[in-house]
Structure 1
Amino acid sequence: MTAAAVRPVAIKIDEETKARVKRLAEARHRTPHWLMREAITQYVDREEKREAFRQDTLKAWEAYRTTGLHVTADEADAWLAQLEQGNDTEPPACHV
């Protein structure tokens, strides 16, 4: 991240939260600013992954509704059990 790309943003937090951030920053030998930036970055990363998962789920549901192709829970469980045991097996075939 270049210095030109960084822009200050103000947020309003209550005094208790501000004190908590300050205590935690001191314990981590970081500044409150660093701690808040890190928290925001981690939150945005996590929420982007959650949204991507949600979009994949919606696409999968629409594909199922369109084609009817699926595997049963028992078939999926058996395949996952094989993978867990270290067996590199092909996933079960989809069926209608």
Structure 2
Amino acid sequence: MTTTATRPMTIKIDLDTRERVQRLADARQRTSHWLMREAISQYVEREEKRQAYRQDGINAWKAYQANGLHVTSQEADAWLDKLEAGQDVEPPECHV
């Protein structure tokens, strides 16, 4: 296991949210510090994945604009129907 340096960071939250965090921490027999670190870690991971998904879409759109390669929705639907039926088939070929 590698050790990463940690540094304190201060956040300001309203009293109601602070109490809610403390109740959840107590219910899970964890500290509020642990709960907030876990929440932030999960949020950052989820948002990084969302950003990567968005960037993949942008890159795909740029590639399509550059080369025009695509499959029609009918071709994609037919392929997905075969997969759903349990057939192990290759995806349709992209074309202009």
Question: TM-score of the superposition, structure 2-length normalised?
Answer: 0.92
Partner of 2:5: 5
For this pair of structures, how many residues does the alignment match?
95
Shift of 1:19: 0.3
Partner of 1:35: 35
**Separation (CA, whole Å) in 1 of partners of 2:66 and 2:74:** 23
SS of equivalent to 1:64: helix
SS of equivalent to 2:91: coil
**Separation (CA, whole Å) in 2 of partners of 1:34 and 1:49:** 23
Question: TM-score of the superposition, structure 1-length normalised?
Answer: 0.92
Shift of 1:80: 1.7
Identity of aligned residues (%): 66
**Separation (CA, whole Å) in 2 of partners of 1:85 and 1:35:** 44
Partner of 1:56: 56
Residue 26 (structure 1) aligned with residue 26 (structure 2): yes
Runs of 4+ in 1 over 2 A off after TM superposition: none
User: Structure 2 stretches of 5 or more lacking a match?
Assistant: none
Partner of 2:83: 83
**Separation (CA, whole Å) in 2 of partners of 1:94 and 1:82:** 18
> Deviation digits for residues 44-69 of structure 1, max 9, x if unmatched?
00010011111111110001001111
User: Structure 1 stretches of 5 or more lacking a match?
Assistant: none
Residue 47 (structure 1) aligned with residue 47 (structure 2): yes
Deviates further, 78-87 or 10-19: 78-87
What RMSD over aligned residues (CA atoms) do the two structures have, in Å?
1.2
Partner of 1:65: 65
Shift of 1:74: 1.6
SS of equivalent to 1:78: helix
**Separation (CA, whole Å) in 2 of partners of 1:7 and 1:73:** 50
